[in-house]
Amino acid sequence: MEGSSSMLDAEAVADLVLLDPLTEESLVQTLQERFRRRDIYTYIGNVVISVNPYQSLPIYTPEKVEEYRNCSFFAVKPHIYAIADDAYRSLRDRDRDQCILITGESGAGKTEASKLVMSYVAAVSSKGEEVNKVKEQLLQSNPVLEAFGNAKTVRNDNSSRFGKYMDIEFDFKGEPLGGVISNYLLEKSRIVRHVKGERNFHIFYQLLAGASPQLLQQLKLRQDCGHYGYLDREGSSLPGMDDAANFHAMQDAMRIIGFSPTEVTELLQVTAVVLKLGNVQLSSSFQASGMEACSISEPQELHEICELIGLDPGRLERALCSRTVKARDETVLTTLTVPQGYYGRDALAKNIYSRLFDWLVQRINASIQVKSDKQRKVMGVLDIYGFEIFQDNGFEQFIINYCNEKLQQIFILMTLKEEQEEYVREGIQWTPVEFFDNSIICNLIENSTTGILAMLDEECLRPGVVNEDTFLTKLNQLLATHKHYESKETQNARHVTDASLPPRCFRIHHYAGKVTYNVTGFIEKNNDLLFRDLSQAMWAAQHALLRSLFPEGDPQKVSLKLPPTAGFQFKSSVAMLMKNLYSKNPNYIRCIKPNDTKSAMVFTPELVLAQVRYLGLLENVRVRRAGYAFRQLYRPFLQRYKMLNAQTWPRWDRGDREGTEVLLAGLQFPAEELAFGHTKIFIRSPRTLFDLERRRQERVAELATLIQKMFRGWRCRTQYQLMRKSQILISAWFRGHRQKNRYKQMKRSALILQAYARGWKSRRLLRELKSQYRRHVAATTIAAHWRGYQARKTYRKYFRSSASTCLANFIYQRLVQKYLVGLAKNLPPLSVTDRTWPPAPYRFLDNTNQELKNIFYHWKCKKYRDQLSASRRAQLQARLCASELFKDKKTLYPKSLQQPFRGDYLGLKQNPKYQKLHAVAKDKLVMADSVRKVNRASGKTVPRLLLLTTEHLVLADPKAAQPKTVLSLSDIRGISVTRFSDGFLALHLKEISTVGAKGDFLLVSDHLIELVTRLYQTFEATTGQALPLHITDRFSTRFPKGDVSITVVESPKASTNGPVCKKKGSNKMEVLVY
C-alpha cells in the first residue's frame, strides 16, 4: 500500500496489509474496532472491504464526493468513493478499461455498493444536457431491475436474486455514452415457492399496493395479497419499505429510460398473468380407461388470464392438463396427473417470468446502449452473489459457488500479476509467492469430460431411468480419488466416518471452505423443461409481448432438439464473463454482513469470521504481504519523515531518492527490510513501518515542543515590546494633553482681554458715527424741503396745461393692462374646432381683440399641425384637397365626409394573388380599389381592379389578376364627373399617348371622391401641374370611332348600385343616375 497518516493507526489500521500480527482474530478485531468508530471501509492494498452498517451514514454527501475527487487512493480515509475515483481516473487518463467486482453474501450491501459506485461516477463526470440524460438513464435502470429481480429474504429485505454485470461506456473525454447490462441466474424458483418469512419478487407487492383501482381492474387483480397462492396468501407489509411509492418510482424510471406506455402496460399484464397462474387450481378425475387425469377446478382465473393475453381458454386448459408426445411419425395426446399438471403450471410461470426479466434487460439495453461506432472506454460493475453455505445447499448454491471460485481465481491471478508488474517496473527482485491455486476446484466443476457439470448434462440426456441417485453414483465412480471431492460412499471406501455428511449428498472443498450439496432436484433444475404444448399455447396468444417470449412455440419452427441445460448456459455465461474481466483492470469491493438480525451498528465476530474465511480475506492479505507490505513515492515519503535525520531536516535540496537513502541510513534499519525502486521506497515488514511512524510521532512531539517554546518566547517579547511602545505612546499623549489644556487657558484669557478692548473701541466709534449720521440726516432733510419748495414753486406755472393728457394716457394704460390680464386668465380651449373668443370690454379695443383672436387661432392650428403624424397629415391634406375640389359642387361630397380615406381596399399585402399586380408598376402604391369599366359599344359595365401608384394607373382583370391596361399619369389630360351623388367619371387621355388610341375610359367607382382626390394630388406631385377637373352634366369623350357626347340625367329609373349607361346612336350616350 501507499501510506498516509490516516492509515497508520496501530489499533485499527485502515489497510490490513499493515496488520501485525496477522491472524484471523486480529483481522476481525480490527474490522470490529473500525466498525465501532463508524469507519465501515477498510483496505487490503487496493481492495475495499465494506461492512454493512444497516443505517444511513453522513459519508455520501456532495462534499465527500469533492473530497475524493481526483485524490490519491491512499491519501484519504478508506471509502468506496476512493476505489470508484481511482477506476474512473485510470479509465479516463490512462485509457485502461476497468471493472469493479462486488462480492459478498446476501445482505452484505452489494446492491447499495454498486449504486454508490454508479452515482459517484455520474457525479464526477462532465455535465451537459445529453450527458445528464445518459447518466439519468443508467441510474434509473436500478429501480426497474430491483423491482423485478430483488426480493425479501431471511437475511436481507432487498436481496438481489440475480447476478448483474453492467458495462458503462465512456468517450475519450470520460463522459458516459451509455451501457450494457448482463444478468445471470435469476432465482426463478422463488416465483412458485419461497421460505416462510420471505417474500416473492418486489414487483408483485408493488403492483398490488401502488396501482390505481382502474389499472387493477384492467389487469383483473385484487389489492389483497392474501388472495394469491404464489404470495403464500400472506400479508405484504414490510417495515421500512413503501411498496406503493416504489411502484411509482419504478414507473417514473421506466419513463426516463424510454419505455412507451404500451410497453409498460404489456409488461404489467404479463406480470399479472404470472401472479394469477398461481391461483389456477387442478382437480383429479379418472377416465373410462381408469387412467388418472386432471382438470381445471375453478375456470374463472383461467378465463381472466386468457382475456389478458388474447387466448382461447380451451387451448390453455388442454396445454395445462395434457401433453402431446411425438414418437417417430406418431403423435400421442396423454393426460397429466394433478402433480404433473401443477408441475407444468409452475414451469410455465417460472419460464414466463424468467423470459420477461431477460426481455426487460434487453429493453433497457436498447435504450442505454451506445448507438455510434466510435472508440469507447468501458467500466464494468459486477454485482453478484458471494459464497453461499447453508444448512441445505442445492443446485443454485452449487452454481453460485462455482462462479465465486472463478472470481477468486481471477482475483488471485490479477493481484499477483499486478504485484509482479509493479516490482518489475520499479526494478525490485520478484520473489514467487506460494498461494492456493483453486484451478483444480474449477476444473473439478467445469471440465468438459470429467467435470461435475458435464456429468450432470450427460445424465440429463441419457435415455432410460434418470434420477439423482444415478448421477451421484457416477460422480462417486469418476471422482473417488479427487482430493477436493467426497461423499458418503467415498468416505466408506477410505474407512472414514463422518456423521456430518448425509446420504444423497456430496461435498466439495472450496477455497472458502467445505460445502455439502444435496443432489435432490439437480436433474430437474438442470433440465428446466417446459412442455411444448405450453410454449405453443403462449405463442398462439394475441398478446404481442408474451408471444415474442416464446419463439419456439411457432409450429413452423418445431425442433426436436433439446434446449441447452441450465448448467451449460451458466457455464457459458461465466466463461464469457471471465473473458470480459480478464480484458479489464480489476477493482475489488468485498462486502461483509455484520449480523443476522439486520440491526444497526451491531457487529457479530463469529458471523464476520465465517465471511472472512469464505471470502479469503486472510489469504488476500498474505498474497499482498508476500513481497513488501508498504510502498510509497520518494517525495511524499521524504516529506513525511525527513525530520528524523539532521541531514534532511529542515530542507533537502538534492534528489528525493538520495534524500530517502540518507534518511533511512541514519535510522539503521536492516538492509533486508528496505528496497529502493526507481520511483518508490519499499518496506517489507509492517513492524518496521510502525517503528518509523513511532519515531516520527516522538520527533513531531519534540518539534512541537520546540515550536511552542519559540512561539511563547516570541509572543512574550512581542507583548513586552508592545507594552513598552504603548507606555511611550501614552506618556507622549498625556504630556501633549496637559500642554494643550494650558494653552487653551491662556488663549481664553487673551480672548477675554481682547474682547473688552475691542468693545470699548467699537462703542466709542459707534457714538461718533451716530453723531455724524444725525447731522447728515438733518442736513438732508433741510435740503429736501428746500428743493421741494423750489420745485413746487416752478411747477405751478405748467401743471394745468398738460394734466388732462397725462391722466388720460395713464387711464388707457391701466384699462389695456386689465384687459390683457383678464384675457390671459380666460383663454378659450385649444381645440381647433372651437372658434369662441371673449368679447372686447371697451369699443376702442375691438380691432385689437379681433387681431388677437386671429393670432390665437392660427397659433392653435399650428400647434395642432405639429402634433400630427405623417400619415394623419397626408390624410387631412387629402381631405382638404377634396374639399377644394368638390365642396358645394358635387352632391356626393357631404356623404363622403363620414368615410375615411383608406387607400388600399383590396388588401394587397394580405392577398398573395394580387402581389404581382403591384410588381407591374414598380413604384409606390397610392390607392387600390375595385371599379366598373363602361363598355364603349353597349354601355354595360365589367369589373376591374384599379391600382394608382406614384407614376402609373393600372386596370386589371380581378379573376386572373392580370393587368389589362397600364397608364402613365402623364398620359391623362383631364377628368370629368357629374354634380350628382353617383360614382361616374370619365378619364380623358392624350391622343399622343401609347394607350390614347383606345380612347377615353368611362369608370364607375364606389369611392369616387377619394379616387379623384388622390389622382389629382398624385398627378400634381408627379407632373408639377394641376389636373383639369370638370364637374358638369354634359361633356364630350373621345372613343376610337369618334367623339361621343355624354349627357347625365338624374332619374328614379337608375339603380341605387350605380349609373345606367345607354347608347343613343353612334355619337351620343345617356347616363341615368339615382
513 - beta bridge partners? 510
Residue 835 gets which letter from DSSP? Answer: -
For 102, phi then psi, to 5°, come to: -115, 115
Handedness of CA 876, 879, 884, 885 (dihedral sign): positive
* Active site (annotated) includes residue 388: yes
Read off the amino acid at residue 224.
D
| Length of the chain (residues) | 1074
The rounded distance, in Å, linking the Cα atoms of 643 and 647 is 9
Residue with cell string 516570541: 714
Phi-psi region of 770 (alpha: psi -120 to 50; beta: other; left: phi over 0): alpha
**Could you tell me the CA-to-CA distances from 130 to 8, 30, 136, 372, 987 in Å, in that order?**
44, 45, 10, 14, 71
**Catalytic-labelled residue, pool 156, 183, 688, 949:** 156
The rounded distance, in Å, linking the Cα atoms of 5 and 865 is 91
Cβ atoms within 10 A of the Cβ of 1034, count?
Answer: 11
For 1052, phi then psi, to 5°, come to: -70, -10
The rounded distance, in Å, linking the Cα atoms of 706 and 710 is 6
* Active site (annotated) includes residue 284: no
Read off the amino acid at residue 321.
C
Handedness of CA 484, 490, 495, 496 (dihedral sign): positive
With CA atoms as reference, report the closest residue to 874 among 893, 898, 901, 892.
901
**Catalytic-labelled residue, pool 178, 386, 451, 983:** 386
* Active site (annotated) includes residue 896: no
**Catalytic-labelled residue, pool 4, 50, 52, 106:** 106
- Give yes or no for a contact between 644 and 666, defined as CB atoms under 8 angstroms apart: yes
Judge residue 726's burial from the number of C-beta atoms within 10 Å of its C-beta, 0-12 exposed, 13-18 middle, 19 or more buried: exposed
Cβ atoms within 10 A of the Cβ of 802, count?
Answer: 9
C-alpha cell at 440: 483444480
3-state secondary structure 98-136: EEEEEECCCCCCHHHHHHHHHHHHHHHCCCCHHHHHHHH
**Catalytic-labelled residue, pool 30, 46, 50, 159:** 159
With CA atoms as reference, report the closest residue to 913 among 874, 961, 966, 869.
961
Handedness of CA 772, 775, 778, 782 (dihedral sign): negative
Q: At CA 103, angle to CA 1 and CA 626, rounded to 5?
A: 30
Question: What is the greatest pairwise CA distance in the chain?
Answer: 178
With CA atoms as reference, report the closest residue to 46 among 405, 415, 404, 512.
415
- Give yes or no for a contact between 301 and 220, defined as CB atoms under 8 angstroms apart: no
C-alpha cell at 1011: 379616387
The rounded distance, in Å, linking the Cα atoms of 182 and 147 is 17
* Active site (annotated) includes residue 464: no
* Active site (annotated) includes residue 386: yes
- Secondary-structure percent of the chain, ordered helix, strand, coil, rounded to 5: 50, 15, 30
C-alpha cell at 96: 485502461
**Catalytic-labelled residue, pool 107, 179, 567, 1058:** 107
**Catalytic-labelled residue, pool 30, 46, 103, 111:** 111
With CA atoms as reference, report the closest residue to 629 among 37, 124, 8.
8
The rounded distance, in Å, linking the Cα atoms of 581 and 587 is 10
- Give yes or no for a contact between 675 and 628, defined as CB atoms under 8 angstroms apart: yes
The rounded distance, in Å, linking the Cα atoms of 669 and 666 is 8
**Catalytic-labelled residue, pool 388, 405, 419, 1010:** 388
Radius of gyration of the chain (CA): 56
The rounded distance, in Å, linking the Cα atoms of 511 and 516 is 14
* Active site (annotated) includes residue 156: yes
The rounded distance, in Å, linking the Cα atoms of 63 and 68 is 9
List of residues 6+ apart from 266 with CB closer than 8 A: 543, 544, 545, 546
* Active site (annotated) includes residue 996: no
Residue 968 gets which letter from DSSP? Answer: E
**Catalytic-labelled residue, pool 46, 160, 527, 535:** 160
Which positions are annotated as active-site residues? 106-107, 111, 156, 159-160, 386, 388
